[in-house]
A = this chain, B = another copy of it.
Amino acid sequence: MARMIKPLNNVYEQLRRLPGIGSKTALRLAYHIIDLPESDVMRLAEALVTAKKNVHLCEECYNFADSTKCSVCTDQERDQSLICVVEQPQDVMAMERSNGYKGLYHVLHGALSPLDGIGPDDIRIKELVKRLQGSTVKEIIVATNSNVEGEATATYIAQILQPLNVQVSRIAHGLPVGGDLEYADEITLARALENRRKLF
């Protein structure tokens, strides 16, 4: 059997390492890229290298930034008394897309996971505590994911922030808006019932 030629196979192997790219997609993409004009391939390769070199972490909130501080932290219009704690930079993006939040962020870069050996010192919790000392922040909204690791992280943060004079809240979980009750999973449904609000 004739095998894939080496340069093509290299592209395939590199693409296959990306998350969510299986062997069929990697193959399809590899063939597509070889067929692109050379200028397009150069542009793609350059975008990757440039991004890796120029994207840093914001020294304030640890979100991705192209200078020392990110665009949220430098925006004086944002509510400086509110910090939303998320696991990853892409969570910041998701929150921003909702257009419903005008405060600051703090990106943990992970969640507590004793089974994977990830403790409080492996994510940016210390940095959060330090950030709060002597600050005017009034409320911390913990928006970590609603899986075991995210919940454990939320609980840990609530405990560690207790001595500081700051309110800690958790983002609401319940039925997704527009979702039918009959298609909701049991855990979401149980949580939605538990967190019910009084109407009158």
Whether the Cβ atoms of B32 and A41 lie closer than 8 Å is no
Whether the Cβ atoms of B1 and A64 lie closer than 8 Å is no
Whether the Cβ atoms of B20 and A28 lie closer than 8 Å is yes
Which of B5, B36, B51 is close to A7, meaning CB atoms less than 8 Å apart?
B51
**B-facing residues in A72-125 (Cβ within 8 Å):** 72, 75, 88-90, 92-93, 96-97, 99
Whether the Cβ atoms of B70 and A48 lie closer than 8 Å is no
Which of B10, B18, B92 is close to A29, meaning CB atoms less than 8 Å apart?
B18
Known contacts A11-B47, A66-B6; A31 and B72 CB within 8 A of each other: no
Q: How far is the CA of A29 from the CA of B26 in the complex (A)?
A: 13
Q: Which residue of B lies closest to A67 (CB)?
A: B5
Known contacts A5-B65, A70-B2; A31 and B88 CB within 8 A of each other: yes
A positions within 8 Å CB-CB of B: 1-8, 10-11, 13-15, 17-21, 25, 27-34, 36, 38, 40-55, 64-66, 70-72, 75, 88-90, 92-93, 96-97, 99
